[in-house]
Amino acid sequence: MDVDGINIFYREAGPEEAPTILLLHGFPTAGHMFRDLIPQLADRFRIVAPDLPAFGQSDMPARGAFAYTFENIANVIDRFTEVIGLSRFAMYVFDYGAPVGFRLAVRHPDRVTAIISQNGNAYEEGLSDGWNPIRTYWQEPSPANREALRSFLAPDTTRWQYTHGVPDVTAVSPDGYSLDNFYLARPGADEIQLDLLGDYKSNVAAYPTFQNYFRTHKPRFLAVWGKNDPFFLPQGAEAFRRDIPGATVHFFDTGHFALETHAKEIGAVIRDFLAH
């Protein structure tokens, strides 16, 4: 779909007239991360899963033509929802998809029927020490500190993100991280991803705004969390209850990419949550 000159690839399933769930992926993946979840939900919901700009099959505009900030990515996805005709929808947000989705919710609280956060953070206590090299770059965006972040883009790091904290790593299909590494290896993708790691500080700065939205609007909220995530701690999931006392929190004995091992269980929890 052409969204103001940027082609956004998306997956869609389910009846068009059914309640909609917008699935927003994270780093360094794409809508394919939902390949096992979509069939769990598509009988009852309209599922729309776009690839963010520069991720997956969506366009990757040159850095000179598009500033890679989370605000700008949210602008594109905001317009995408309008172009495709999503007037009301629930959101499933993961990792980078969380600050994108939370920005949409802040802008259009009337459009959001519910939020499902899977390792999608909005609280300082949810950030682990794994963020320290990135924090260093936020504090001093020098070439050396930027260069130090390249290890986050390495194929072994992607594989580690998928398998860390997973009790049985044979349960993780190599398809997901192999495809992610293919996308990361495209010319120019590395600098774009370093730009976004640097701009992630804008999300932390926006946490008070997101929290105010939660307190003010108290959206229906479900946290489904891989409790062994090396980047987003369980405290981040529990913190949502502080601002939304009715929030539901489920932990799973897995890592960051919880859908790789627990898509069926998470799908069942979502179905139950949205049925009430």
| Active site amino acids | 256
Q: Which of 140, 155, 168, 151 is nearest to 228 (CA)?
A: 168
Q: Is 71 exposed, middle or buried (0-12, 13-18, 19+ CB in 10 A)?
A: middle
CA–CA separation, 67 and 65 (whole Å):
7
Amino acid (1-letter code) at residue 121: N
**Number of Cα atoms under 13 Å in the Cβ half of residue 92:** 30
Amino acid (1-letter code) at residue 218: K
Q: Which of 95, 96, 22 is nearest to 54 (CA)?
A: 96
Residue 181's alpha-carbon distances to 58, 70, 128, 155, 197, in angstroms, are: 16, 21, 24, 6, 17
Burial 139-155 (b: 16+ CB within 10 A, else e): eeeeeebbeebeebbee
DSSP conformational letter for 126: G
